[in-house]
Amino acid sequence: MEPPLRLLLIGAAGRMGKAIVLAAAADPAVEISAQLNRGDAPGSAFADCDVVIDFSHADTIGDVIAACLTNRKPIVIGTTGYSAAQLGAIEQAATKVPIVLAANFSVGVNTLFWLTRKAAELLGPEFDIEIIETHHRLKKDAPSGTAKRLAEILCEARDLTYDADVTHGRAGTVGERPSQQIGMHSVRAGDVVGEHTVLFAAPGERLELTHKATSRETFAVGALRAARWLTGQPAAIYSMEDVLGL
Ligand code: NAD
């Protein structure tokens, strides 16, 4: 039998970190070789692992990339809320080590990505599009990384531009809705793990695609699957759709 894959978990004390510790304990193919939290000295943790998994905070990424490049380690990145500069640094690092960057590791959400692209292509520009996402009150970034990815997919399918055509909420006398606009709405409430709806509406009909996560286990199991898939891949940036072969 292959020895278990050794994982360095960054952000281990967080909600997702704890879910990954639990999922890894139930998976004989992996083991957590070290856990790092805010303020911990990494010591030899990067050198002594096979894959690094990061579910912490966007501002951690500079240090993680530097250590992974020094030690030539693949990275599974689940953290969201990166700036354009931070995303640029991730893309640059992916020319040297393999990286999976996924705003959402659930199989259901990655199927939602596929269905959203297909629906936008089939329904065409006659249908208005709105995205509604709901998360727990402690979430730090908005809109969610998953909602941003949905908007990117819709922009690609409709030949739109994220910065010009995605509008975040509405207030005041905003006037009639431009047909090419994509509305984005972030709800923050209670302990909701994560819900995403893509709404397509035209005169006389409405189609809604909705995914509801009821437990973080789905993200944790997906992140472990991504870690196993990533070992042996050449340096590049990969999505969860690549991991799942969608
Ligand atoms: P959280 O606030 O519960 O946990 C984050 C943890 O990271 C905390 O324990 C914090 O101390 C730690 N941390 C912060 N800075 C650090 C540093 N420099 N070094 C090491 N640890 C550090 O948050 P969460 O709900 O677990 O979410 C974490 C991230 O994962 C967020 O960006 C969230 O949006 C994202 N997320 C992604 C998915 C996915 O499927 N990709 C799913 C859920 C959450």
Instruction: Copy the structure tokens of residue 88.
Output: 């640029």
Q: Check if 98 has its Cβ closer than 6 Å to any atom of ligand 1.
A: no
What are the 10-residue block averages of pLDDT along the chain, 246 residues in total? 94 97 97 97 97 98 98 97 97 98 94 96 97 97 96 97 97 96 98 97 98 95 97 96 90
From 26, 23, 37, 29, select the one nearest 6 (Cα to Cα): 29
Q: Check if 46 has its Cβ closer than 6 Å to any atom of ligand 1.
A: no
Give me the DSSP letters along 121-185.
Answer: HHH-TTSEEEEEEEE-TT--SSS-HHHHHHHHHHHHHHT--HHHHEEE---SS--SPPTT-EEEE
Distance CA 105, CA 66 (A): 24
Whose Cα sits closest to atom 3 in ligand 1? 14
Place of tokens 């409709």: 158
pLDDT at 232: 87
pLDDT at 47: 98
Contacts of 132 (CB under 8 A, 6+ apart): 185, 187, 196, 197, 199
pLDDT at 2: 86
Ligand 1 centroid to Cα of residue 233, in Å, is 25
Label residue 60 exposed, middle or buried (CB < 10 Å: 0-12, 13-18, 19+): middle
Distance CA 94, CA 115 (A): 28
Q: Check if 103 has its Cβ closer than 6 Å to any atom of ligand 1.
A: yes
Residue 180: count other Cβ atoms within 10 Å of its Cβ: 15
pLDDT at 246: 81
Instruction: Copy the structure tokens of residue 228.
Output: 């196993």
In angstroms, what CA-CA distances link 3 with 75, 142, 175?
Answer: 19, 40, 62
pLDDT at 41: 95
pLDDT at 176: 97
